[in-house]
Structures are given as structure tokens and as C-alpha cells.
């Protein structure tokens, strides 16, 4: 028998080799590190841009962010960076950890337990990082 890799492993190895050849720094690139470059938008700016700034009778920015969190969870919580950034912005917009946890738990009925678990894990990472920053 041979030590043949599955096609996915071969494709990933080729992509890594190509990235290393094009730019050696890409070999150690971390999307989570890149995420830290994205600033948290102040609550007032979020409200102006995404909240009632354009539609005074519309949804506030916190509600819009909860809808975004629900949508990202519904997709299987596969977009790690986007989900973490949304949780970070929700906290800035005034959402409590309990509200975020409840919103993610609500999605278990629609997205399934694995998606809910993954979203909860990503949200907890953000909340733990925020606690570490505060101390």
C-alpha cells in the first residue's frame, strides 16, 4: 500500500507551498491576527451608520447586529472572523453576554446544535478576550 493522501490534503499542501513560494510570510498568516487590525466601531458610530441614523423608526444597531449574528450562526458559524467581530461589536453596542448567548442558543432550533455550539465557542473566545483586556 502507498501513503497516498486524500485529494483535499493534496490540494491544501499545494496551496500552502504556492503561498510560501509567493510570499514566505503567508506561511504563518493567521486570520485571527488579521482580525485584530479591524477596529471596534464606537456605539455612536454604529447607531449612525447601521441604526436609526437614516430611519428613525427603524431597527437600532444592536438589533441589526443580533440579526447578523443569527445569520452567521444559521450558515453554520463557518465565518469565524465575521462572527467574532459581530460579537465584539454587539458588546460595544450594549448587548450583554447573556443576550448574546440567548441569541445563539435560539438558533439551535434553526441552524442545528453543531452550528450553535460553534457560534457559542467563537463568542466565548471574544468574551474571554474582552475580560482579559479589562483586567
Residues 6+ apart with CB under 8 A from 60: 47, 51, 52
pLDDT, tens digit (0-9, with 9 covering 90-100), for 60-78: 889 989 999 999 999 887 8
- What is the rounded CA–CA span in Å between residue 111 and residue 72? 10
**pTM here?**
0.68
* Rounded mean pLDDT, 80-98: 93
- What is the rounded CA–CA span in Å between residue 115 and residue 119? 6
pLDDT, tens digit (0-9, with 9 covering 90-100), for 23-47: 777 666 666 666 666 667 777 777 7
Residue pair 61/94 in contact by the 8 Å Cβ criterion? no
Amino acid at each position: 500500500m502507498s501513503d497516498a493522501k486524500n485529494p483535499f490534503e493534496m490540494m491544501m499542501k499545494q496551496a500552502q507551498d504556492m503561498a510560501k513560494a509567493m510570499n514566505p510570510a503567508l506561511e504563518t498568516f493567521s486570520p485571527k491576527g488579521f482580525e485584530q487590525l479591524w477596529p471596534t466601531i464606537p456605539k455612536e458610530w454604529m447607531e449612525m451608520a447601521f441604526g436609526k441614523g437614516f430611519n428613525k423608526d427603524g431597527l437600532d444597531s444592536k438589533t441589526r447586529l443580533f440579526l447578523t449574528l443569527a445569520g452567521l450562526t444559521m450558515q453554520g458559524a463557518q465565518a469565524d472572523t465575521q462572527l467574532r467581530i459581530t460579537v465584539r461589536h454587539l458588546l460595544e453596542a450594549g448587548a450583554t453576554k447573556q443576550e448574546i448567548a440567548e441569541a445563539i442558543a435560539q438558533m439551535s432550533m434553526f441552524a442545528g446544535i453543531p452550528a450553535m455550539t460553534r457560534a457559542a465557542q467563537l463568542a466565548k473566545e471574544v468574551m474571554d478576550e474582552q475580560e482579559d483586556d479589562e483586567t
